Amino acid sequence: MAKVKIKPIGDRVLVRHLDDKEQVRGGIIIPDSAKEKPQEAEVIALGTGKKDENGKVQAFEVKVGDRVLVSKYGGTEVKLDEQKYTLVREDDILGVIA
């Protein structure tokens, strides 16, 4: 994978959504605009870290390469070099897929 040109700041995490396997049942194809955003994603880059009330940087609970579940409506979508990414706060990550 090529190095991504986006470096998140603070407690933000850059993820790339993993597409659900498209299923067609009964000959009906659902257009992309009607599909839900997938919740499964891969962590691409980590921010600089969230600071506690004493100014100490807290470590992230996820690492680059982790497969995670993210909040369905959380984050900000960005497009870079024809690839879509989402910037989410670490709090929007619901869990790591083991």
One pLDDT digit (tens) per residue for the chain, 98 residues: 557 788 999 999 999 988 755 545 566 665 655 555 668 999 999 999 988 899 899 999 999 999 999 988 889 999 988 889 999 999 999 999 98
pLDDT tens for residues 5-33? 889 999 999 999 887 555 455 666 656 55
pTM of the full predicted structure?
A: 0.77
Range of the domain at 72: 12-19+28-96
| In-domain check, residue 38 | yes
| In-domain check, residue 68 | yes
| In-domain check, residue 69 | yes
DSSP result, 22-80? P--BTTB---GGGSPPPSEEEEEEE-S-EE-TTSPEEPPSS-TT-EEEE-TT-SEEEEE
| In-domain check, residue 5 | no
| In-domain check, residue 3 | no
- What CATH number is associated with residue 75? 2.30.33.40
| In-domain check, residue 83 | yes
Please give the tally of structural domains in the chain.
1
Please give the Cα distance from 77 to 88 (Å, whole number): 9
Please give the Cα distance from 44 to 13 (Å, whole number): 8
Burial of 62 (0-12, 13-18, 19+ CB in 10 A): middle
Please give the Cα distance from 89 to 71 (Å, whole number): 10
| In-domain check, residue 34 | yes
